Amino acid sequence: MGRLFGTDGARGVANTELTPELAMNIGRAAAMVLINKETEHPKVLIGKDTRLSSDMLEGALIAGLCSVGANVVKLGVVPTPAVAYLIGKYGADAGIMISASHNPFEFNGIKIFNMDGYKLPDELEEQIEAIVLDHAQPFPAYSDDKLGCVIEAETAAIDYVNHVVENVEYRLDGMEIALDCSNGSSSRTAEKLFTALGAKCHMLFDKPNGTNINDDCGSTHMDNLMKYVKEHKLDAGMAFDGDADRCLAVDENGNLVDGDFIIAICAQDLKSRGKLKKDAVVGTILTNMGFNKFCESEGIKFVSTKVGDRYVLEAMRAEGYNLGGEQSGHVIFLDYCTTGDGQMTAAQLLSMMNRRKEKLSDMAKLMSRFPQVMINVKVSNEGKLRFDTDKEIKKEIEESGERLGGRGRILVRASGTEPLIRVMVEGEDSSEITSIANQAAELVRERLV
């Protein structure tokens, strides 16, 4: 796996790359770095998604945490944002989510939150890595009454559902929607949540079996939801990823409404009501160029960060903004959440629709999307490490950028969570950007596979 943490926690193939031993040591090191040493038995929450390996890794993390004196509260299967929220509600010192988000079931991951419900900054992750990988500090060997214990929080899912419901301004009475739960964490919460808000819900992919998470469903596989919404003449559809921190939408015509459009709709609505702080919104370098044009026309300041909702959040907190996110569907409403929350996003968007009595297709007309081509090239782990220093690839990127001029852009980057190089080309001419993307992807394939 190399160093432990990517853009969204530690992640790898469960039991071969992300082993129980490694998980146990991450638990130990996290407690050593995060916990106030004056607290005899700090409290750490653990949530998980529906992957077959989540139980195994949960057991390993519990063993590591208890061995260094931490008490563990098991939340069971819950969304990632539930862990972040419940840290404060339950008075915990930290929280851990076991999930590999949108990845296939054989992968799993460990995301860590501090006592304020925020993902760890790079420097704290590096301290954990130094303890686990470089043995910078020895693990304490506690015994007797210094060992931690384990309890179960039986109301974790409903406590999270109530939190979302309480923060939705306008109910969803009269709406009929489809919810694609990706056979993941939202399978435990989505129907309760949106029914409580008054919507009639059609549930899709809400029967996890340990191996079907993200399997041709969820926010990375939208075709089934798009077809279903159109055929059943519903108001909208909402798709979540495996741990429900992302949301993508489908309008009444079966058309995709991605994260950029969702953020644009919410930003315009909040600004019109004087609720968009500093009239600004935060996105990433992958945000569509059409979003920039939208912001210019609406008098909204656009702030761009590196890819990853953690970097979006850092910029929001540093400057006092309250809305940001990614095209992939990570949307952060900082007035209500400390991380991306797919179900909060869906609820806020649907609430806006119902309050304004507008169709989602009409609301999405506020922005025009520039054509964009994304190619994911699977590479070897060694190839991924060579990417930053490969002169031929760098030359190709520079020359492609010059060809596009002011009509578009090319962005080639290594995935923070998978052995992939992502090639993204955006511009006015679809055939031109497709040709440029294919050429760059083929060079990456030749040199890094």
Q: In three state form, how does the secondary structure of 384-423 look?
A: HHHHHHCHHHHHHHHHHHHHHHHHEEEEEEECCCCCEEEE
Residue 180 — φ and ψ, nearest 5°?
Answer: -95, 110
For the chain, how long is the longest CA-to-CA vector?
69
Within 222-341, residue ranges assigned H as helices are: 223-231, 259-272, 289-298, 309-319
Handedness of CA 350, 352, 358, 364 (dihedral sign): negative
Q: Are 410 and 436 in contact (CB under 8 A)?
A: yes
Q: Which residues of 16-34 are buried (b: 16+ CB within 10 A; e: fewer)?
A: ebbbbebbbbbbbbbbbbb
DSSP 371: P
Residue 238 — φ and ψ, nearest 5°?
Answer: -130, 130
Q: Would you name the residues annotated as active-site residues?
A: 101
DSSP 3-state of 121: coil
Instruction: In whole angstroms, give the CA distance from residue 445 to residue 425.
Output: 16
Residue 217 — φ and ψ, nearest 5°?
Answer: -155, 175
Residue 189 — φ and ψ, nearest 5°?
Answer: -130, -30
CA dist 325 to 58, 80, 263, 416, 427, Å?
Answer: 29, 16, 7, 17, 21
Q: Are 263 and 283 in contact (CB under 8 A)?
A: yes
As given in the structure block, the two tokens for residue 333 are 């409403």
Q: Which residues of 379-398 are buried (b: 16+ CB within 10 A; e: fewer)?
A: beeebbeebeebeebeebbe
Phi-psi category of residue 304: left, alpha or beta, with phi > 0 → left and psi -120 to 50 → alpha? beta
As given in the structure block, the two tokens for residue 374 are 């994304």
Instruction: In whole angstroms, give the CA distance from residue 221 to residue 255.
Output: 13
